[in-house]
Amino acid sequence: MMRTTNHEPRTTELILALDVDSFSKAKYFVDLLYPKVKIFKVGLQLFIARGKKIIRYIREKGGKVFLDLKFYDIPNTVANASKEVVRMGGIEMFTLHTQGGLEMMRRVKEAAREEALRLGIKAPLIIGVTLLTSEAQSSKITPLVISLTRAARTAGLDGVVASVKETRCLRQVFGGDLIIVTPGIRFAGGEKGDQKRIATPEEARKAGSNYIVIGRPILEAQGPLITARKIIRKIS
């Protein structure tokens, strides 16, 4: 049975994907865009290069960190990794793969909550990755994303990563309290890159995304701050 809900949250927030290879480049964009942009995604490339240093810097500036490492391993390994994320401090939310299974997701949720309680700090939001937006659209995708999201909710996760193509349906099925983070955001007529299931910022807001993740369209713009401001106006 589908839940009835308003598809559009009051606002959709922009997350800048710091998909760069050095601390100096990441620092440049944080300095340029904060506080207009308040949340910064640290993914695999930057985390391996200078992860903890840039996370500290973002927090010292007053920004929030979306740690996007997409954990996927046996339950014990991922649960222990989630404890390290909590100990790191200052992480607003982090990701794991929902295809890791129900036990893995439950163990991660429990481990992160217990570690945050032990340290007396706020636990990060845990966001489950459903299917990557580099996957081409097909009739099988939406039912699979719904199934993976249902497992994520059963495990107690706070939300999921999903393309705009699935967001509206997820809102209908799971209601307004599910956090939806949407990558694959591009401008109309812009380059797709390696993304397949893409949408514009306005389409993501109308579908019900809480957050949109944008990297290259801002990082490679002639005026990154001007571009970020335009996007924020479109989604607020």
Burial 118-149 (b: 16+ CB within 10 A, else e): eeeeebbbbbbbbbbbeeeeeeebbebbbebb
Helices (H) and strands (E) in the chain, counts: 9, 8
Q: Which of 70, 196, 206, 234 is catalytic?
A: 70
HSE of 191, CA atoms in CB hemisphere, 13 A: 8
- Taking the C-alpha atoms of residue 107 and residue 78, their distance in angstroms, rounded to an integer, is 8
141-154 vs 164-174: helix crossing angle, rounded to 10: 50
Nearest 5°: the CA angle 29, 34, 39 is: 90
Structural tokens at position 233: 């106006």
- Taking the C-alpha atoms of residue 96 and residue 156, their distance in angstroms, rounded to an integer, is 13
> What distance, in Å, lies between the first and last C-alpha atoms of the chain?
30
- Taking the C-alpha atoms of residue 99 and residue 78, their distance in angstroms, rounded to an integer, is 13
Annotation says 70 is catalytic: yes
Find all residues with CB under 8 Å of 61, minimum gap 6, and list them.
Answer: 30, 31, 34
Active site members = 70
